[in-house]
């Protein structure tokens, strides 16, 4: 079975999507439509902007979504997923890819999500840190016993967990994790504490937008971050998407479940190859590939 997977924030690069724009009239049409929907020329920033320009959350999230979704659409009939999944933001790309959301609605939601998250980040100093070389249970235990808000946020692969929360609490947790034998506990250059209770204000804002958006019956299951299980019910998909902002990304568990359900081949659609690397670490026998534009 073919699983298609979609990357999240951090996969952006300068020049992303330019080859698509130059070589596909469909891609050109969708990029121009995106400029209109967003009210600014995101194509200029994607194609010519610096890494710094692309780092703004309100740009990064729509840019990665557009690269992934437009790439999938240019594949035409060769794009036949049996299942899909996306890492954090990538879940929105996956929902357009499996027909749950249309292109316009998906982009509007991603833009609203990015702006709501930006606001939440500015409201309170917060951060994330990557923890390498420890069992998940040890990381969870340290977070639970650290003063302040700090939680496990991204279960990326065995031995790689990202924690998220208030700056001071994350720093304290990093020290405690190093003392417990973590190979690394490294503060990440991110705008705030994604997938933590500090995203609650953004969640409330996004919930209203999601409730007012039409979701269709998907043409294949999506393995959602919150549950790490196959979902095809539209109402359930909506609820999980709302929970996703404050809940952890269970990527390790999602990939394990996809493999258990018959996934043999994982194709990453969008910028970068980060997810392929994680899939290999989660399941050594998995076949992985990038989508290339023809």
From CA 39, how far away is CA 193, in angstroms rounded? 27
CA neighbor of 16 nearest in space, from 40, 51, 57: 51
From CA 225, how far away is CA 227, in angstroms rounded? 6
Supply the DSSP string of 210-244, one letter for each residue: HHTS--PPPSS-EE-TTT-SEE--HHHHHHHHHHT
Q: Of 67, 93, 126, 195, which one is the catalytic site residue? A: 195
| Paired sense of beta strands 160-166 and 184-187, if any | unpaired
Say if residues 27 and 74 touch (Cβ distance below 8 Å): yes
Biggest alpha carbon–alpha carbon distance for the chain:
55
Say if residues 157 and 278 touch (Cβ distance below 8 Å): yes
Q: What Å distances lie between residue 236 and 213, 223, 250, 258, 276, CA to CA?
A: 14, 12, 17, 18, 27
Annotated catalytic residue 88: yes
Look up residue 270 and give its DSSP letter: S
Q: Of 24, 68, 88, 111, which one is the catalytic site residue? A: 88
Looking up tokens 């209203």, which residue turns up?
208
From CA 141, how far away is CA 45, in angstroms rounded? 42
Cβ atoms within 10 Å, residue 54 = 19
From CA 248, how far away is CA 114, in angstroms rounded? 17
Looking up tokens 């709302």, which residue turns up?
242
Annotated catalytic residue 87: no
Residues with active-site annotation: 88, 195
């Amino acid at each position: 079975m073919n699983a298609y997977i979609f990357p999240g924030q951090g996969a952006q690069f300068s020049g992303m999507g330019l080859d698509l724009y130059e070589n596909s009239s469909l891609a050109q049409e969708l990029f121009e439509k995106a400029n209109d929907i967003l009210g600014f020329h995101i194509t200029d920033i994607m194609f010519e902007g610096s890494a710094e320009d692309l780092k703004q959350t309100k740009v990064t999230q729509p840019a990665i979504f557009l690269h992934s979704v437009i790439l999938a659409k240019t594949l035409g009939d060769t794009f036949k997923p049996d299942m899909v999944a996306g890492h954090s933001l990538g879940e929105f790309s996956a929902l357009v890819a499996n027909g749950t959301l249309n292109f316009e609605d998906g982009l509007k939601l991603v833009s609203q999500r990015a702006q709501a998250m930006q606001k939440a980040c500015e409201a309170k100093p917060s951060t994330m840190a990557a923890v390498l070389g420890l069992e998940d249970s040890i990381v969870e235990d340290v977070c639970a016993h650290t003063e302040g808000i700090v939680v496990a946020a991204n279960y990326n692969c065995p031995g790689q967990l990202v924690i998220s929360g208030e700056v001071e609490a994350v720093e304290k947790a990093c020290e405690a994790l190093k003392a417990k034998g973590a190979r690394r506990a490294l503060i990440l250059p991110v705008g705030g504490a994604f997938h933590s209770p500090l995203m609650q204000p953004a969640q409330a804002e996004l919930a209203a937008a999601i409730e007012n958006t039409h979701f269709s019956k998907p043409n294949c299951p999506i393995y959602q971050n919150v549950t790490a299980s196959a979902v095809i019910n539209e109402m359930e998909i909506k609820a999980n998407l709302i929970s996703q902002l404050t809940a952890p990304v269970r990527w390790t568990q999602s990939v394990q479940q996809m493999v258990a359900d018959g996934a043999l081949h994982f194709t990453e659609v969008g910028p970068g190859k980060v997810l392929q690397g994680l899939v290999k670490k989660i399941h050594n026998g998995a076949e992985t590939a990038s989508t290339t534009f023809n």
